[in-house]
Amino acid sequence: MRDLGKAGLVRTARGFGGGVRLARPARQVSLRAVIEAMQGPVAIYRCLAKEADCPQAQDCRLRKVYQRAQQAMLRVMERTSLEDLIQEQPTE
């Protein structure tokens, strides 16, 4: 909860009637914001998280594919709100 609070996603209140609440409406909180608040930047492959970890980064042909895939994934996560997740019906 501390990380979510630091990111401005939740507010906490102590005492009777206290608890944890979203700091803004669920439709305004993206899945990406929640994940990054709790875990840090999202990367589908470690070379995208830290370029210095890969000595081949500038010449790697796979890296460009990973970057496009990551951009697409981050767009989906950014466009998916907590409200979307709450309203989504489970599939069987």
| Fold annotation for 2-87 | Arc Repressor Mutant, subunit A (1.10.10)
pLDDT of residue 25: 95
Give the list of residues 6+ apart from residue 26 with CB closer than 8 angstroms, or none: 81, 82, 83, 86
Tens-place pLDDT, residues 33-86: 999 999 988 888 877 776 656 777 677 888 888 889 999 999 999 999 999 998
- Per domain, the residue ranges of the chain are 2-87
| pLDDT of 9 over the 80 cut | yes
Interatomic CA distance for residues 59 and 57, integer angstroms: 6
What is the maximum span of the chain, computed from C-alpha positions, in angstroms?
A: 59
Q: Which two tokens mark 27?
A: 């439709």
Q: What H or E segment, with its residue span, contains residue 22?
A: strand 19-22
